[in-house]
Structure 1
Amino acid sequence: MKVYESKEDLKKEINKAYEKYILEFLDIPEKLKDKKNNDIDRTPAENLAYQIGWTTLLLKWEKDSKLGLEVKTPSDKFKWNQLGELYQWFTKEYSHLSLMELKTILNKNIENIYKMIDSMSEDELFKPHQRKWADAATKTVVWEVYKFIHINTVAPFGTFRTKIRKWKKLEIK
């Protein structure tokens, strides 16, 4: 996993990956947002719904922590061994929205993640044991908060960009 030198480096990497990812949706017609393809595991709407789901959870973990609430990862409704069900919930919760609505929500989440990063000290972001939710989410390894941010933004933006590009080659003629 990539290591970052500073908050600004992390934000720049998120921005770079997000801009490339979100641009892939510009030429997808609304009428194809739910078009399935056997070679691709998610439709464009499901692809965005997945990203919205994880970024929303990331923001919720931090918000609940600051409010002094017990944070349950990955969510109040699902455990780590129920990720398939969680992904189905993301699809049900968000994929019925238009592509424009989905992109707007995801954009707002990314803006809020930047604010979350800015609100943290370098230690809170890059040193271990700074958030109970981060420690509770990984029982066997120690993950700093930035790693959770990375795996819910930079990493999937790259992976899912590849998937949406492949989907477009197969579906948009």
Structure 2
Amino acid sequence: MAVPTNKDELLKAIDLNFDKLIKDLRGVPGSLVDECSLEGHARGTQMSVADLVAYLVGWNELVLKWLDRDAAGEPVDFPETGFKWNELGRLAQKFYRDYEGVPYPQLIERLAEAKARIVALIEARNNDDLYGHPWYEKWTMGRMIQFNTASPYANARGRLRTWLKTKNVSRQS
């Protein structure tokens, strides 16, 4: 799918990639969700499927924080307070820890809720708000949202499907 350049394309990309991912996440056997055998987000680390979902929840909730702070006229600390863009592996580890006690079904529900809130916030904005001017450095708000929702959904799905194949778990298209 091409990089979204307007509100409708952004919403379509988020929904399409999320729907495919959530179907695969719901198909992971419960006995495998906590097994640390997926390549982690930091070089040389391993993670579980639950960690992968925690990572996505963390980023989605971070996007919501950015949008809430922006709407309140407060400065946004990209990517997150205490982290620089070259420390995303460390941020991923934080997300794993933040959600490690949350049962897998609740993690999936929390991801779905965060995605729904992001969609609602996008729908409340016009195309100019999302794509009419830079929001962070050279990037528009729409592009920053896409970088941290639709793209990671697609990436996570690819990782998950490759991993499921190594586990001989049948999956639906």
Give the structure-2-normalised TM-score: 0.85
Provide Cα deviations, 1:114-148, integer angstroms capped at 9, x if missing partner. Answer: 1111121210101123xxxx32xx3xxx1111111
**What are the within-5 Å matches in structure 2 for residues 70-81 of structure 1?**
70-81=75-86
* Paired-residue identity, %: 28
Decide which structure has greater strand share. 2
User: Where does residue 152 of structure 1 map in the other structure?
Assistant: 148
State the distance in 2 between where 1:73 and 1:80 align. 8
Aligned length: 162
Residue type at the aligned position of 1:106: L
In the alignment, the residues of structure 1 paired with residue 32 and residue 103 of structure 2 have an alpha-carbon distance, to the nearest angstrom, of 11
Unaligned 5+ runs, structure 2: 41-46
Contact 1:45 1:96 in 2 (8 A): no
Structure 1 partner of 2:43: none
Is residue 53 from structure 1 mapped to residue 49 from structure 2 by the alignment?
Answer: no
Partner secondary structure for residue 28 of structure 1:
coil
4+ residue runs over 6 A deviation: none
Contact 2:17 2:154 in 1 (8 A): yes
Q: Secondary structure at the match of 1:25?
A: helix
User: In 2, Cα distance between the equivalents of 1:161 and 1:89?
Assistant: 21
**Structure 1: which 5+ runs fail to align?**
none
Deviation at 1:33, TM superposition (A): 1.3
SS in 1 for 2:12: helix
